[in-house]
Homo-oligomer: A and B are copies of this chain.
Amino acid sequence: MTLSIKTTRQDCLERDARDPLAPLRDQFDLPAGVIYLDGNSLGARPRAALARATDVIAREWGADLIRSWNTAGWFELPKRLGDRLAPIVGALPGEIVVTDTTSVNLFKALAAALDLQRPHAERKVIVTERSNFPTDIYMAEGLARWLDRGYQVRLIEDVTELDAAVGADTAVLMLTHVNYRTGRQLDMAAVSAMARARGAVTVWDLAHSAGAVPVELNRDGADFAVGCTYKYLNGGPGAPAFIWVPRRHQEAFAQPLSGWWGHAEPFAMAPSFAPAQGIARALCGTQPIASLALVECGLDVFAQTSMPAIRAKSLALTDLFIELVETQCAGHPLGLVTPREQAQRGSHVSFTHPHGYAVMQALIARGVIGDYREPAIMRFGFTPLYTSFTDVWDAVAILRAILDGQAYDTQAARSAVT
């Protein structure tokens, strides 16, 4: 999409007026006076979540008590939610469970991938990017250290090194599809094909992809994937994550966290583990029902639109943001980190600024909520379900006012924001 560099606020109002996704904003509870550009970290609350929580707490737990494992379908929730999530990431029914945390699911997927490679004793390397979200690297390190069979994690500095890094010694290529800091999106089809051609198994982290950009796991030949429901999918703070195992890998899929929810007959109380058929073998223990149930409220909103519609608006929003920052804040030391090319972009945009942390604190104080990541990176997430074009205009106007007036405190103490 080409935009005039003279976009006005009136233009933004008009774009909102003809935006087919604009009505979905009413399905979210957004606080007054806030422009929320951090849905890439914690998605906003679907209005329906409060009533759903009340129903789970008061009726399902309080009134129906233990019976709700059957009557409310608690035991089936991981699979039922997985099936609802499947079309958003190009998966089939029976290929996803919503369960545990992204880190724990990554452990399962990596362990299963290494297990697939055990016949190939020479394949001992897990390749990933140094700029990957750190927990992914830490989980790979933990797995390699504990197996103690010579596995190692190879960190590449940049995706341009992928070609050289993946070879005959590579067991697994573990990548995050959209980088958490830069917002750069990888070409899943091309990278998966390259890895497969070289005998490596791919494990994809969709934390910043699911609900943000079109993902076609099966079409693009991924081997395993994990992801998060509390960012673009609006599942609630720390909502359970997901794991995808395609049908072609399910029969061979084995993972060490072999708890009773992954057993073929969980209520037979057999004294030895036998894995369930299908995706259930990726489950482990009893899930946090209150948090898990709320995931459905976010998925209900996605059911009213499509990923192509979301992608079209996402690109329009990020294009607009880049254009407005570069024109209205010209002269300030801002550096675009996110790729300009649409195909390489996720749904958040990052700019560096020498005082990035202080500028972000000033933005938050004025109601524009983004976040900050070392080093010097301000992240702004654009969530087409509830972010308007006028939000973008207003956010940049506030950013400009802060920068022009140097209205930020470079001595501000840093504190943790996930």
Contact = CB atoms under 8 A, between A and B. Distances in A.
A286 B138 CA distance: 14
Nearest to A373: B269
A86 to B, nearest CB: 21
A102 B133 CA distance: 26
Contact of A256 (B69, B146, B239): B146
Given A256-B107, A271-B155, A263 B42 contact: no
Contacts of A395: none
A103 B134 contact: no
Interface stretch (A50-58, A310-318, A326-334): A50-58
A194 B57 CA distance: 44
Given A100-B100, A285-B103, A135 B259 contact: yes
Contacts of A273: 137-138, 141-142
Nearest to A289: B237
A290 B103 contact: no
Interface stretch (A2-10, A59-67, A208-216, A300-308): A59-67
10 contacts: A38-B65, A41-B66, A49-B62, A61-B236, A69-B416, A135-B261, A236-B289, A238-B292, A239-B290, A290-B294
Interface of A: 29, 31, 34, 36, 38, 41-42, 44-45, 49-50, 53-54, 56-58, 60-70, 74-75, 100-104, 107, 111, 130, 133-135, 137-139, 141-143, 145-149, 155, 230, 236-241, 255-263, 266-273, 284-292, 294, 364, 369, 371, 373-374, 415-418
